[in-house]
Structure 1
Amino acid sequence: MQKTVLIVEDEFLIAMDLKLLLEQRGWCVLGPAATVGEALDLLSDELPAVAILDVTLRDGQVTLVAEALRAQNVPFVVASAYSNPELIGGEVLNGAPNVGKPTEERRLLKVLEQAIRSGP
């Protein structure tokens, strides 16, 4: 069974790098979404197994996306240079694994697998 991941990232090159990396590893990628609105639209069509969230997007913080994922019991990880992303994106990000930015490939894949196993 192919695993599905939603990428929410507004920096085009980072988003494309993540998409390519994950597709090469057998993941089905939704997005990338560069805005909260785009991400919510994608979620209304299909629920991923897991999501990767940038904290600050073109149209604001990723908070509404994280809340929508939590409401649907979809785990997520944060890809942020912030050491405490919950201070920027809200308490809903508290406890979410942060794979950092830039993201190291092995760590990202490991954390995504762990998130799926552990759930939201």
Structure 2
Amino acid sequence: MQKTVLIVEDEFLMAMDLKLLLEHHGWRVIGPVATVRDALRLLEDEVTTVALLDVSLGTELVTPLAEILKARDVPFAVASAL
């Protein structure tokens, strides 16, 4: 089974750079998406191996998504450029 990664990042260029880098290394990328709501929609139909999360998505924090991923035993990394 191919390894998959969910990217949740609201900075377009950062998201696309991560996507291209991960695809180059053999990952199937889910997203990228810029909101918790969009990430949750993707997870309704997709199963991810891991997730990369930007801690601050505009005016919202990624915390609710991180809690759901933790409950599903999906490893994730949280980053911020602040």
Shorter-chain TM range is over 0.9
Q: Is the 8 A contact 1:36 1:59 kept in 2?
A: no
Q: Distance in 2 between matches of 1:73 and 1:59?
A: 26
Q: Distance in 2 between matches of 1:81 and 1:12?
A: 14
* Structure with greater contact order relative to length (CA < 8 Å, sep ≥ 6): 2
TM-score, with length taken from structure 1:
0.65
Of Structure 1 and Structure 2, the greater strand share is in 2
Of Structure 1 and Structure 2, the greater helix share is in 1
Give 1 or 2 for the bigger CA radius of gyration: 1
- Superposed, which structure 2 residues align to 1:33-52 within 5 Å? 33-52=33-52
After superposition, the CA RMSD in angstroms is 1.1
Structure 2 portions without partners, runs of 5+? none
Q: How many residues align?
A: 82
TM-score, with length taken from structure 2:
0.93
After superposing on structure 2, the runs of 4+ consecutive aligned residues of structure 1 that deviate more than 4 Å are none
Q: Which residue of 1 aligns with 2:23?
A: 23
